[in-house]
Structure 1
């Protein structure tokens, strides 16, 4: 029996793939050795069974074998990419968090794409602000040194996905690739805040982060169905530190953030999303948006800065936002 057929047989009876077989299957899919008909069956078999952490980790590690990796980076660097798929049409919170982190002296390698479930994807947002959308792997280090921030446009770094794209489009359903996106950063961040669209994904994705060697991270699912911390109520999170996992529930009220309504962070399209983002980066805009950025920025600072509590991180974030630190730091980049 061919190995890819063996994979399908196991998935058909609801069995998780052992690591070696999962690695084989994903590698065969990326290189084109697995027939297109089997690729579709494989992806839907995983979805129907429910993807296991070891399977997603195998998909990630084999995808990175085919990626245009960024070499030579040293020191802590963070990504704030979420899975998307929460269909909330909210403003670009993770992009705002990334730019505030850079303004505060942290190295940010932001991996992302154009809009999927939001009004304006991270790629659309950074392009509109004035950042280069396509940065070649050998230019990443210089861009990072210049601005503490570099955007890594996913299609430029993962050519193997062009082969799978048409199959995913034909399937029409979300697959594990929608979960894997934030894990495929070619600059291999040491720290990560990763948002997921449902609570059940929190422990699963935290386990995947641990399996793929992340130093410190947190997986979050916020109130209101968001793949970010929100000021609408408690969030489910799982902290990751050197392979250890710790589940927790975070209530914004205990962090000095007042409750607001979901509709306060929604934008209607790209133009509004960019205008709102520019305001937030200057410390202006609806309080709910500023609070949402403060929560996620504070969480990232807690990951990056030893000894800084989560509450202290949020307070520090509020100060930076009140000063419009991101707009001031990037004034030479942003479009007038």
Structure 2
């Protein structure tokens, strides 16, 4: 749409009009390739935020970002990501990273897309770096890493060079924009399965609807009791399942599956050093019971997504057995 004028797009947003697909796709393409001016880009993002981003607009943003990304080639096996959006501001331990290690230790391919800390005391990249694992893996090397240890960490800045056009604008805006939701939708390894956490229930159906437009086989978008972007053991969790283009809403209480009822304080960490120390304990089969149960719950859900013939209860049982056996350490010990 070479004749698209940004003034017209901004006018539509000012009047709270949703963008048609062709206009949304062209607008996000211009945003990603840097042809929007900073003033236009800031107005565009704030216009979308004020109006409320639709599923179509979010999907168009993801499509434009992936078109500029360094995609991972030569992946043929099922693979899962355990990435949340962040933004729950809970300072909890690195549950999704522990889950990723556990699944990889069980022999499932995990392509974890992540970044440094946003709302937690220590992000996935921070703890992986602290454990001595490389943050920089070239796209062509990912398949080999999965063959070697079933785990590959895809450090987001290395796979999305176009975001250099966005970062300064987001920093100047200083508040939530659509980009706070995009991260889990932009995995350059294009996972076949996904456990995706969001910090507010309002985002659940939108995120699930975007996933349903992709080639994802099975996914669960979750919002944990207590306002977490992961399943928790604090009460009733909300879930939107995605399967073959369809979505279905549900609820889940960990107590119904024999897991303890814990408190948010029991899964919090004070900083990077504690986050790293407790993660080492957990992947070795130890650590606090509250954190163990949270890992088991999330890993059980991931197994339920990955295995068509496995019930959620069976997934939770399998995750409990594997965690206690310390199989998550295989990722660190792979030669």
Q: Would you say same fold, with TM above 0.5? A: yes
Q: String of CA shifts for 1:41-67, please: whole Å, max 9, x gaps.
A: 010111111111110100001111101
2-structure distance, mates of 1:88, 1:186? 27
Does 1:332 find its partner at 2:327? no
2-structure distance, mates of 1:110, 1:58? 23
2:104/2:331 contact within 8 Å kept:
no
Match of 2:109 in 1: 107
Match of 2:66 in 1: 64
Normalised by the length of structure 2, the TM-score is 0.97
1:310 to 309, 312, 330: 312
1:131/1:333 contact within 8 Å kept:
no
Does 1:170 find its partner at 2:158? no
1-structure distance, mates of 2:271, 2:260? 27
2-structure distance, mates of 1:331, 1:54? 40
List gaps (5 residues or longer) in structure 2: none
1-structure distance, mates of 2:334, 2:194? 25
1:91 to 85, 90, 93: 93
1-structure distance, mates of 2:289, 2:50? 41
2:203 to 201, 204, 227: 201
Instruction: Using the TM superposition, give the Cα deviation of residue 331 of structure 1 relative to its aligned residue in structure 2, in angstroms.
Output: 4.6
Instruction: Using the TM superposition, give the Cα deviation of residue 3 of structure 1 relative to its aligned residue in structure 2, in angstroms.
Output: 2.9
Instruction: Give secondary structure in 2 for the equivalent of 1:200.
Output: helix
List gaps (5 residues or longer) in structure 1: none
| Runs of 4+ with >4 A deviation | none
Match of 1:301 in 2: 303
Instruction: Give secondary structure in 1 for the equivalent of 2:167.
Output: helix
Instruction: Give secondary structure in 1 for the equivalent of 2:90.
Output: coil
Match of 1:31 in 2: 33
Normalised by the length of structure 1, the TM-score is 0.97
TM-aligned CA distance change 1:267 to 1:151, over 3 Å: same
Q: String of CA shifts for 1:53-91, please: whole Å, max 9, x gaps.
A: 110100001111101111111120000000000000000
RMSD over aligned Cα, in angstroms? 1.2
